[in-house]
Structure 1
């Protein structure tokens, strides 16, 4: 039985714990929250053996094998490093770090300790996404030449938490990471940043960003925003066809259009959209594997570097000034 500990007891952690209950070979063993009251409330919904009001106390428990880090972005590096130092495998909510240096620090520590670490890019583990990967690799749309990915929503500052905070906030780290991860996964060649359009909050975090990414015979456009609503979708264009994905950050269906055919695919989750990444983590622990081939350490650092490069095109970005 694989014993999980969860650090952070917010909305995402609740969804994760609910998904974890579907695995007969794993259990939620311990919860750590900012207060004992919050930990108890979480435990009432998601039974666990132990609860803590200090993150380090959970890490000090030798029974915990793997830690799911579900904290605001700016706390990821600190607590992932502490978890690895405590000998725990780690599954960390995206983004792994708020910049490439933080992400590299995590990767270096995971390699030094020879422990499993994975950034929780859950959409890569859904049946629909994996089918899209298979079709593209098999040449269903020919040579991939363009990707358009947009993830936007209206998120007023009054309804946000860390999203608007300097350094750890911004649309790129919260939603643009999905856009960037999609591009990185389907185009593994070097990418440079072309034109960037953006809108900044007065505190220096971007509330809208649209960037062009350029590769060898390839281009992409990624869009993320807190200040406008738009369909969350991605379009993969190849020399022979197009794949359109609605809700690409948690896909269950997509369309394939070629000269020969128009086909719709409906591939629902196995239980929910967290299931695949949990299954990957459990499998890695059982097989003593330190890195996922689906969301590798290389993938994480490449995505972080691309976000840094986009921010470097924003002269007034506070995140750039503090990276």
Structure 2
């Protein structure tokens, strides 16, 4: 029996716990919250052996094999590291960390501790996604030339929490990470920014990004937003056809368009959209694998690197614009520094 501990009993943890009940070889052993009453409310919905009023208490329990971290983005690094230090395997909600530097430290620690670690990027575990990768790898649409991704939804600030907070918020870490995870599966590194459209609010949090990136032979589009609704769609364009993937963050189907014909492929979820990632995690633990075949740690690194580059570019462009405005205000004629 594999004993799971959940840190952060929020909405997504409820869905994870529901799915966990489908596995006879897994047990929800404990849940931890900053307030033990909140943990008890969660336990009433999802029976567990224990509840804790602090995350560290849960990590100190020797009976827990793996910790599912379902905290706000800014806490993923701290508690992934703490869980690994406590000798626990980790499955962390996306984004696995706020940037590549943090994620590299997590991965290095997991390797030193000889512990399983993976990012809960649900899309990568789904049957539709894996069949899609096989089809593209087999050359069904020829050489991949373009990958277009759009994941936008209206999320007003009054209805959000950490999503609008400086440094940890923004549409790129919350939604754009799905775009980046999709993109990195089908294009070669490195990618360089070709064009960048964005919208930031007063506290410097980005609420819309539409970026074009390219390498020597491929181009990608990453569009992500909190301030508008658009079709949730990814399109992979090759020199012999294209594939359209609705719901890129939770794919269960795709359409192949080739030779003026289209063919739909449907792969329903097994139980729910968490089932595949839990199944893979349990399999890895039972077979002593240190990383997932569906979501290897290098995929997570590749994804966060794309987000890092876009965030840096937005910061540089915004700072450059602020500098330019200050020069106009002071009427000083100074050459602007080049954008890197």
Note if 1:110 corresponds to 2:110.
yes
The CA distance in 1 between the partners of 2:318 and 2:83, in whole Å, is: 31
Check whether the contact 1:189–1:216 (CA below 8 A) recurs between aligned residues: no
Matches of 1:36 and 1:56, distance apart in 2: 13
- The answer to whether 1:73 aligns with 2:56 is no
- Alpha-carbon separation, structure 2, partners of 1:151 and 1:31: 31
- Please state whether the residue corresponding to 1:273 is helix, strand or coil: coil
Trace 1:98-177 onto structure 2 (pairs within 5 A).
98-177=98-177
Using the TM superposition, give the Cα deviation of residue 54 of structure 1 relative to its aligned residue in structure 2, in angstroms: 0.2
Q: CA deviation at 1:219?
A: 0.6
Per the normalisation by structure 2, the TM-score is 0.91
1:10-89 counterparts in 2 under 5 A?
10-89=10-89
Q: Aligned-residue CA RMSD in angstroms?
A: 1.2
Q: CA separation in 1, counterparts of 2:170 and 2:295?
A: 23
- Conserved in 1, the CA contact under 8 Å of 2:3 and 2:27? yes
Q: Is the 8 A contact 2:143 2:238 kept in 1?
A: yes
Please state how far the C-alpha of 1:122 moved relative to its aligned partner. Answer: 0.7
Instruction: Quote the offset at 1:131 in angstroms.
Output: 1.3
Structure with larger Rg: 2
- Structure 1 position 299, deviation (Å): 1.3
> Partners of 2:199 and 2:277 in 1: how far apart?
33
Measure the CA separation in 2 of the matches of 1:99 and 1:317: 19
Alignment correspondent of 1:306: 306
Query: C-alpha displacement at 1:260, in angstroms?
Result: 6.3
CA contact (8 A) 2:140 2:240 kept: yes
1:21 shift after superposition = 0.6
In the other structure, the counterpart of 2:325 is none
- Cα deviation code 1:13-67 (max 9, x no counterpart): 0000001111111111110012111111111111111111100000000100000
TM-score by length of 1: 0.96
Q: Which runs of 5+ in 2 are unaligned?
A: 320-340
Q: Which residue of the partner structure matches residue 205 of structure 1?
A: 205
Moved more, 296-305 or 94-103: 296-305
The 8 Å contact of residues 141 and 241 in structure 2, kept in 1 or not, is answered as: yes
Cα-to-partner distance string for 1:246-299 (whole Å, 9 max, x where unaligned): 111101111111006310111100001111111111111111111112211111
* Cα distance in 1 between the residues matched to 2:196 and 2:56: 41
Per-residue deviation, residues 101-146 of structure 1 (Å, max 9, x unmatched): 1111111111111111101111111111111111111111111111
User: Closer, same or farther in 2 for the Cα pair 1:208/1:6, shift >3 Å?
Assistant: same
**CA distance 1:173–1:317, change in 2 (3 Å):** farther
Q: Single out whichever of 246-255 and 72-81 deviates more from structure 2.
A: 246-255
User: C-alpha distance in 2, partners of 1:298/1:186?
Assistant: 14
| 1:62-90 Cα distance to aligned partner (Å, 9 max, x none) | 10000000000000000000000000000
Aligned length: 318
What secondary structure is seen at the aligned counterpart in 2 of 1:186? coil
1:188 to partner: Cα distance: 3.8
Deviates more, 1:301-310 or 1:143-152: 301-310
1:205/1:317 contact within 8 Å kept: no
In 2, Cα distance between the equivalents of 1:60 and 1:316? 45
- Unaligned 5+ segments in structure 1 are 319-323
Contact 1:162 1:168 in 2 (8 A): yes
After superposing on structure 2, the runs of 4+ consecutive aligned residues of structure 1 that deviate more than 6 Å are none
Which region of structure 1 is more displaced relative to structure 2, 65-74 or 111-120?
Answer: 111-120
Partner secondary structure for residue 189 of structure 2: coil
Say which SS state the counterpart of residue 305 (structure 2) adopts: helix
1:321 maps to what in 2?
Answer: none
